[in-house]
Structure 1
Amino acid sequence: MPRSTIARRIFYLFCIFLVIYVLCFQWELLISLGLGEDNIKEFTFGLIPAVAAVTLALALYWENISIASVIPTAIIGISWIVTGPLLNFSTLVKSNTIYLNNIYDVYVGLYVFAIVFCINMLMKQHLPQKTGTFLMTLVQMATLLIPAVQWVYYALYQSCITTSGALLIYQTNPAEMLEYFHSLGYSKLFFIIIALAAIISVFAKANCHRIHCSGLSWKPKIIALLSLIIIFPSFYALGSEIFPECFPIRLFLDTRDYMNRSSLYAENHDAKFAELQAVQLHKPDHPHTVIVVIGESETRTLMNAYNPSHVENTPWLTAEKNNPQFTLFNNVYSCVWYTVPVLEHALTESNFYNNKEFNESISIIDMAKKIGYKTYWFSNQGSVGVADTPITLVANTADNAEWTDRDLKESCHDDALLGFLQRVNPNENNFIVLHLMGSHIEYRNRYPSEFQRFDDGKINEEADFDNTVLYTDWILSQIFEYGREHLNLDAMVYFSDHGSDPLEGRKPDETGFKVLRIPMFCYVSPDYIERNPVIADTLKAHQNSFFTNDLEYEFICGILNIQSPNYDPSYSLASPAWKMKRQDLVTRFGQTSLMDDKEF
């Protein structure tokens, strides 16, 4: 081949690489809100091998490329790139649904193109025409199935597939599926069948043409080998990290995990609850309410109430700091730097000191129910997901459990939870847990525009984090005021699951102490103080004690003044029996002493 021809081909391939790269990058920016610096950095470099796989596949079969060989595969790849992000973004715009920037769908589309294109060309070259056409059409339809299902779902419900939809799909048996298709009506079924038939016919017609490699007899074998060198690494890239994280695969994997764990938790729960013994001392003789608020990703050293030199992002909590009925605990740490293990321990008697298993443990909801409270769980986080499964398992044991994404059909800003409080009967004894979205990444998506008080010109960094803290401060004030004015608030506890460092972003494997330092406060009413003076004095005495949030169950049991074989008061800051010293306390899955935090 002439050198000028080789140079021209390399130039064309380089232009193809550049065009695909730029289009994919711009597409992700277009349909993403608040794409953080960590996402941009990952996408900038992660996109290179994915686009390279496409370019190498085209280069390998350059002499045999035709519209028929490229178009069907391009439709499949573009469908993966476009469908998940677009439908998520559209649903966000229409219904304010939680939106997490997802770069994995783009990777899937590119790698799928490279794999399917090479398989297609191999079949055209080495299999009989009818056999190759049939097999290739099956492969193409299989790879197009998931995007197609998403579009059908969107056409029916004007929404991307949600948690509720995934649960419904998992829980539907074949008979119910047939009944559902019948309920769609003949016109919709006819349209679906016609669309499928059209796609199959187009793919089949494109696949029926054979190709031949000109030149030496060994050339087809070399090309086949090089095709495998493209196919297998692309399969590995998809299977190891990318495909399980794309939409809606991650949603269905989380749903399956939730259902499996839910079954196990439910098997143990009823027997444990029946055997549970608990009594409440000094119980008020009138209807009252206890509220527990679980925050998300708040770091106490980045809050003005704890760090006066920081920007004024906690006006309400800073003002209440001097209220004798409030106690701000100054040395509280998260037991782990991410949600799953934190809440498995914080919500139950399982902690990193007694080594009880989550599925064998009594929860704080169980305790509250056993001593006569009507229990509520209101959440603005997902009802299903890797980070939500232990929460949902416990939450579903409450008398009333509601989620904004499942019950309001949307996930939105935390003020949506305030409406749920109006459903609580003030004439009953109530125990309410509220789970906030708080300062969860991406920060810019976590607060209304009117709380954009701090602005450093950067998205999802320090100023935006401060705005989330400001908004959470307002949410807490509204919960407190509503509880006091309408629900006869007896006590209120707030703690964050873990912290966040807007300068560092997310680190899955390790983190510094900064994101382990979390806020926690407790309010007790004048009537509570009169009934429980020892507990009230103990809270103030332990204000500067060191504490880890895997002991929240014990702390709340202490606030409720419970006596039970399933409550150890020596682990509770609300009890005079509290025995833990700083040197006894551990974080990072029980592997690191709090003594190692040299900054505070």
Structure 2
Amino acid sequence: MAVLPIALARISLTSPIFLIPTIIAVLWILTYPTIYFISNHKVSSDFEFHFEAVFGLYFVAWISSLGIFAQQASWLSIPATIFLSLAELIMLAIPVAQLIYYALYKACINENGMEMIQETHYNEIIEYIKSMPLLLNITVIISSIILATAITYANYNELKVTAPLDTISLSIVAIIAIFLSSYLWKKKHGVFIRTAIVEFYLDVKEYLATNLQYTQNMQERISKLQVTTLDKSTKPHTILLIIGESESRDYMKAFNKDYPLETTPWLSEMEQSKNFILFPNAFSIGANTVLAVSNALTESNQYNDKKFYESCSIIDIAHATGYKVHWYSNQGHLGSADTPVTLIANTADVAKWTKQELNQVQYDESLLPYLQELDPTQNNFLVVHLKGSHFNFSNCYPRNFTKFGTPGKYELEANYANSIAYTDSVLEQIFNYAKDNLNMQAMVYFSDHATVPDKRRSPNFEGLASVRIPFFTYFTVH
């Protein structure tokens, strides 16, 4: 079927109607299976069956048959050129994206990678692009424009030439075009949706959709929740939970005395106080924010089979014990349908995110004014979600705060150390304000996960260094 349309029309194999979709088909047929084999053959001989090869062959027949049909009437040349060129460019982009993913992470894309992509905020995409060399960005843009122009031009030159077919041949080509237009793209059991990359996308999309049930099931969860209050004090107070980002205790002087840079002067001083407890052996459940925070804040974890959307959260517990819950975040509001972390946050009495502007960096100190909204005459449970040491590290602290390396210079470990030192400073300011103004009774801090600054972050687990997190607590002494 792949070659029957061009055989009936007696079209040359070098014709863009056949050559362009064939190149794209070869990429589809080879890219995912090859990368999957390279990534997994040492640990597993099992291979799931996907439809990349089938899709590639049928894509050639589909484009060719549509192109041949368009050649029968000159008025179809322009709309057919636009449609076929767009279809080819979109289908070309998918295997190319997989190749880029492999080049970045040295691994085949899987559900974890697809989840990371779908949950990525547009500001993180812009941040990542800005971190790349300017020359590379310009080259990619210019190359993409040239490629799109070349495909469109080649298609137009071929399709504007009228090449009438005999009735029987044209009928067969039309049948193939109609059949493949349905069989390739239908929503259920179509070939396209049975390719690996699309299956991953749809599986993750379905997973994220089920998280919406978290909000819908909230009343039922809370009705079954039984909480015993240990502290019988009637004095209004505040309990403070601060969530860091990508901070590794290996680079924090308070936790790692052998680290040469003093990245935590405030915490190192507070460590001497009997009110502070530092936990030197804390680990995150995983190396991405959504997995780590959603498990940290709910009863769902790696030891049970409880679904996230069925699990009570620490916010539910705070509500059950009479606390007014405030959630302030510098992570960017992704929307209630996008991430479990946002779903948890939206159950707070007050949930606010710092204003995320394109091309404008928002430092964690911008969260400090929000603390003034809390009423010290009532019981408050306050969650502060920091940007912390999120890549790009140099954008996590003001340039005038630079303590290590050269201000404005791209130096991964120095930038990372500066971001940790800045977080230490922000923690000090939050702590002092809450202690002086909010009758703070307890403070808990942990990072969602860790990172290794000079190693590209991967959606796959790559060792304990990516989950070795700081965790400390503060309690007042009565």
- TM-score, normalized by the shorter chain, greater than 0.5: yes
CA distance in 2, matches of 1:119, 1:404: 51
Matched position secondary structure for 1:415? helix
The question of 1:494 aligning with 2:445 is answered: yes
The question of 1:133 aligning with 2:78 is answered: yes
Shift of 1:125: 8.2
Q: Which residue of 2 aligns with 1:479?
A: 430
CA distance in 1, matches of 2:399, 2:391: 16
* Paired amino acid for 1:340: V
Q: Which residue of 1 aligns with 2:404?
A: 454
Q: Greater relative contact order: 1 or 2 (C-alpha under 8 angstroms, separation 6 or more)?
A: 2
Q: Which residue of 1 aligns with 2:458?
A: 507
Q: Which residue of 2 aligns with 1:375?
A: 325
Tell which deviates more after alignment, 451-460 or 347-356: 451-460
Shift of 1:135: 3.0
* Paired amino acid for 2:468: R
Q: Deviations over 1:475-501 (max 9, x none)?
A: 101110110111111110000111110
Name structure 2 gaps, 5 residues minimum.
1-12, 17-59, 91-119, 123-151, 164-183, 185-190
Matched position secondary structure for 1:393? helix
* Paired amino acid for 1:301: D
Q: Which residue of 1 aligns with 2:416?
A: 465
Shift of 1:443: 1.1
CA distance in 2, matches of 1:276, 1:449: 47
Equivalent residues in 2 for 1:176-575 (5 A)?
210-211=160-161, 260-310=209-259, 311-384=261-334, 389-405=339-355, 412-455=362-405, 459=410, 461-526=412-477, 530=478
CA distance in 2, matches of 1:324, 1:400: 32
CA distance in 2, matches of 1:297, 1:386: 23
Matched position secondary structure for 2:373? coil
Distance 1:142 1:284, change over 3 A: farther
CA distance in 1, matches of 2:229, 2:378: 16
CA distance in 2, matches of 1:387, 1:507: 24
Q: Deviations over 1:501-551 (max 9, x none)?
A: 01222122221222221101101123xxx2xxxxxxxxxxxxxxxxxxxxx
Query: Is the CA contact 1:268–1:360 (under 8 Å) kept in the aligned structure 2?
Result: yes
Query: Is the CA contact 2:452–2:466 (under 8 Å) kept in the aligned structure 1?
Result: yes
Shift of 1:61: 6.7
Query: Is the CA contact 2:71–2:162 (under 8 Å) kept in the aligned structure 1?
Result: no
Shift of 1:263: 2.8
CA distance in 1, matches of 2:419, 2:338: 21
Matched position secondary structure for 2:240? strand
Query: Is the CA contact 2:246–2:451 (under 8 Å) kept in the aligned structure 1?
Result: yes
Distance 1:268 1:343, change over 3 A: same
Matched position secondary structure for 1:498? coil
* Paired amino acid for 1:478: Q
Shift of 1:436: 0.9
Matched pairs, number = 343
CA distance in 1, matches of 2:359, 2:211: 22
Distance 1:361 1:60, change over 3 A: same
Shift of 1:119: 7.8
CA distance in 2, matches of 1:434, 1:395: 10
Name the TM-score, length of structure 1 as normaliser. Answer: 0.49
Q: Which has the higher helix share?
A: 1
Distance 1:163 1:329, change over 3 A: closer
CA distance in 1, matches of 2:354, 2:361: 5
Matched position secondary structure for 1:301? helix
